[in-house]
Each structure stands twice: as C-alpha cells, then as structure tokens.
A = this chain, B = another copy of it.
Amino acid sequence: MEAPELQRHYLPDFELQSGIVLPELVIAYRCYGCLNQDASNVVVFPTYYTGTDSSNARLIGTGRALDPDNYFIIVPNLCGNGVSSSPSNTAAPFDGPRFPLVTVYDNVRAQKKLLEHLGIEYVALVLGWSMGGMQSYQWCAQYPDCVSNALVICATARTSAHNKVFLDGVSAALLADQHFNGGDYLSSPVAGLKAFARVYVGWAYSQAFFRNGRFRELGFSTVDDLIGDWEDDHLSWDANNLLAMLATWRAGDISQQWPFENCLGDALAAIKARVHLMPCEEDLYFRYEDTLQELEFLSKGKDCRYRSEFGHCSAGPGRVAEVTVLVEEQVRLLLSGV
C-alpha cells in the first residue's frame, strides 16, 4: 500500500492547558481511506512515544481490521515526535528546551480541531498503544459525546507514581550527560542518549523475555545486539523531543480538566464510550493492576488483558504477531458494534 500524503493542520495562537500560547501549533497527520457520506466511519489512531504516523501504518491495510476500504483512519502525530510541533521544529522563543509542556489534553484538543476542520463530529473508534492509548482514553473523557468506542492498549488514564519514577530514571540518565547542556546542545548528547536507551530497555520487555531469549524472535542474536539497536534508535532522536514527549507522558491524567478537579473516578465515570482496556500482564510500567482499578469506574469498560513475555513492547504496532491478532480482534469487535 502506498502511504497517503503527510498533511499538516495549522492552529494559530493555540492556548495550552498551562496558559502558554503557542503562536502556531502544527498537527501533522496522515489519512487512510475515505470519509463516508454521514461521516460515521472515522477511526482516530494517535501515535506513541518514539513513534510516528508511519509506525502506526503497520496495522492498517486492505482486508485487515483497520481497513481503509471501509474506514477513514486518521493518524495524528503526537506533539514532540518531530513531525507535529516539537522542540526541534518550533521557532524561538519556544524552540529546543523552551518548548512548553503540551499535555495529552492539549494534543487531543488539537486533534479535535483537526477533525472539525475535516468536517468530522463523531469518532467510531479511537485506539492506540502506550501514549497512543493515553490519548485514546483522553478522547473519551474530553469529548464524551463524540466517541463511540475506544481501545486502550498498554496505557492508563493517569500516569502512575511508579511509572513516573521510571520516566524520571530514563531522563536523569540523559541529563547526566554534560553535553546535554540544559537542552542547548551543540551536538547530540551521545552518552546521555545511549544511557537513556540502556535504562529504558530493561523496562520495555519482561524479565521472562530475557530469561527465555525471546529477543531472538525480534531478530537479535544477543541482548547486546538488542540494546545496540535501542541505542541507535535513540541516537536518531532529538534529545529535547524525547524529553518533551516524556513530559507529556508524565503529566498524563484524564482528570486534570474541568469539571473533574483531579478526581480520577469522576473522570472515568463520565466516559460514555465503550472502552476496551487491553493491558499486558507483563508490562512493567503500565501495570494491569492500575488498569483494573480504573475499570471499576467505567460504565462500559471491558477487561481485555492479555499475557505476553514481550511486556510493554508486545503491542507495538506490528511487532509481535500473536498480539497483533489480539488487537485486531478487539478492533473488529468494537467496530462491528457487537
């Protein structure tokens, strides 16, 4: 399938949750398929941390659950990922380390404006993995009358205390590199980015993944090869962009908006969409126990947890075949309205 054109939606004078006004916020996105006459076939599929719209494309295709022959699938890039507005592509005074916190709420508000611009009022399904799942949850809480179904994969409605400790660990590893220079680096902080990746990889899978050598199924002969690949991937990222997305993640909390006043139970209870929660029991930072606590407040929630030694990364779009099958099963179920 040839990839559709990358498009950009420009939002002038975009006021963030923090009160800071960005002179322009850009949401870069790709659309697959055609909008039907009553605009009832819309799927929103936001991207994840260190993902771009291209990463999500791995789940989209003719004959698949996310079929562009039947659905109009919009993949908006997460702010900070270098494609939508990010530290690396924003003009002064909001460039680099001066790029403000763009919350999940801000991302979803920008995505809603994009949909309005496209003439879309309702979303048949919003889905995503990891930070994509956080955005999906956020859609349900922020626009309860606009979303019919949500599939939240390896994500929670509020970033847990432990998840924050994990995030603070990876960012501390990056910041320990003096070349980072408060974000005004002259060249990439190589040691910091590599340390960041090395710390991250211990959390990204499960302990059993390493015990049972399952990295081989991902094409790596040794753990060192796997870590080397993570290092290379992180070296290809702008350090400020990584930290901007991390800040978004860390601040994730669907109750941080009117009228919920930080009460997570209220925010969850206000969700009208059917929400299928798909945590992985071996996920080390988006813990299924947190998901199960959230589930209790949802009026139309469903526990779709699964097991995989690939842990959090098991549901990275197109990475682990048997998990892709599970995800597509849930997509079909939700879209069929059963």
Contact = CB atoms under 8 A, between A and B. Distances in A.
Interface in A181-201: 191-192, 194-195, 198-201
A223 interface: yes
Contact of A165 (B168, B223, B290): B223
Contacts of A199: 169-170, 172-173, 199
Contacts of A202: 162, 165-166, 168-169, 203
Interface residues of A, number: 40
A59 interface: no
A29 B146 CA distance: 69
Interface string A209-229: 111010000000001000100
Contact of A191 (B175, B213, B227): B175
Interface string A152-186: 00000000111011101110111111110000000
Contacts of A160: 207, 210-211
B165 A201 contact: yes
Interface in A78-128: none
A198 B211 contact: no
A289 B165 contact: no
A287 interface: yes
A172 B164 CA distance: 20
Contacts of A289: 207-208, 211
Contacts of A198: 165, 168-169, 172
A235 interface: no
Contact of A178 (B173, B179, B201, B287): B179
A300 to B, nearest CB: 25
A269 interface: no
A157 B179 CA distance: 39
Given A161-B213, A211-B287, 14 more contacts: A160-B211, A161-B210, A162-B209, A165-B201, A165-B202, A165-B210, A168-B202, A169-B195, A169-B201, A172-B199, A176-B176, A176-B192, A178-B191, A207-B289
19 contacts: A160-B207, A160-B210, A162-B211, A165-B202, A165-B223, A169-B202, A172-B195, A172-B198, A172-B199, A173-B173, A173-B176, A173-B195, A175-B191, A176-B176, A176-B191, A178-B191, A195-B195, A207-B284, A211-B289
